[in-house]
Amino acid sequence: MRHLRARRTAAVAAALAITLTAAAAAPAWAANPPGVASVGSADFTKDGKRVLVPALAACAVDDAPTGSSEPVVASGVRFGAGSSSCVREVVDPAGGITRTRSEAVGRDFELSALVAAGGPRLRVGSWRISCSATDRGTDSAWELGGMSGFADLPAQLPANYAHEVKSRSGVVLAVVTFSEVVLPDPNDGSMSVSLARFRFTPESHLSGEVVLGAAACSPTP
């Protein structure tokens, strides 16, 4: 069962909650890790040169419980300072039942790589993404605000909403997928989600993608 919620403030703000119910028996394998999160990453080519920003402030349940990153500025993209937390909590010691929560928080994101092709400067002032899990399933939530450059966004932003970023002449330079949710096949109750994934078109003279906020989790044992 899915629950979607969105709201608009002075700029743009949205929130999403998705709940997936796993099978009664724990899966024999999981397509996603127990719980991970990161502020974002970038890997694209601009003017014949690769722009690479590895996953920032990455955390992982049972491995790296927290992460943090200072502002990072690369050619055409900027990530503000961010942090992450991936924790496991025991809720039933006798039964060995646990729950996890993996979350990343960031601010001051800017994508300027499309300006040279006549596109807008895209900004996200603040955002948060999380993936939580119990023995019954997984849940993902996100929110964002302080957005600019995204023309004609709807008041409601459903999961996997594709937004076209156009130049002043109307040419599509990139497609941004908000709350990109990926479920494994077969579905084991796990999920991965990206707050916003920017994919460039050939008309932008760029190739590759930028990810803002990422998290994944699997049902707990």
Asked if residue 2 has pLDDT above 90, the reply is no
What is the pLDDT at residue 62?
A: 87
What is the pLDDT at residue 161?
A: 95
Q: Residue 9: how many CB atoms within 10 A of its CB?
A: 9
Asked if residue 4 has pLDDT above 60, the reply is no
Per-residue pLDDT tens digits for 155-192: 888 899 999 999 999 999 999 999 999 998 888 899 99
Asked if residue 40 has pLDDT above 50, the reply is yes
Percent of the chain whose predicted confidence (pLDDT) is above 70? 86
Mean pLDDT of 64-92: 96
Tokens, residue 56: 């920032």
Mean pLDDT of 119-141: 95
The domain of 85 spans 2-217
Per-residue pLDDT tens digits for 18-30: 444 333 333 333 4
Number of domains in the chain: 1
What is the pLDDT at residue 214?
A: 97
| Closest C-alpha among 163, 217, 177, 221 to residue 37 | 217
What are φ and ψ of residue 86, in 5° steps? -130, 110
- What number of helices (H) and strands (E) belong to the chain? 0, 16
Asked if residue 14 has pLDDT above 70, the reply is no
Mean pLDDT of 201-217: 97
Q: How far apart are CA 130 and CA 18, in angstroms?
A: 11
What is the pLDDT at residue 28?
A: 34
Q: What is the DSSP string of 120-153?
A: PPEEEEEEEEEEEE-SSEEEEEEEEEEEES-TT-
Asked if residue 67 has pLDDT above 90, the reply is yes
Mean pLDDT (the chain) is 86
Mean pLDDT of 4-11: 24
